[in-house]
Structure 1
């Protein structure tokens, strides 16, 4: 049984885009970005941190990315 909440496809995509942004992070979401709700949900789940007007992947987010996204590709 899963111990973590399910991530919708759009949220997994937002997590992957954040992973690809590396240490630069992603800019603060605005109305033009389609993944605003996903970034907010990922912050609530502790996978993403919002600081200084940017979003950054946390250690928990990196682990979740490795388990759900990288695993699916390998």
Structure 2
């Protein structure tokens, strides 16, 4: 579940291994480019962490962030 904190939507995803986490990130990269809404994210081994916020909205959570969060969740479901 995404958590709204510090004017950001945050979520951590855990995968079986680094390769699976990287495949997930590659799919997400295509989506964020299509949406033209790029997140802050990090990857350490099998974990990928996101923080979503919209610069144009004063670095607050916007509908763009919520739509991206939903798209990320849809991609993550493929790996469960």
Instruction: Identify which of structures 1 and 2 has the higher relative contact order when contacts are C-alpha pairs closer than 8 Å and 6+ apart.
Output: 2
Of Structure 1 and Structure 2, the greater helix share is in 1
TM value normalised by structure 1: 0.30
Of Structure 1 and Structure 2, the greater strand share is in 2
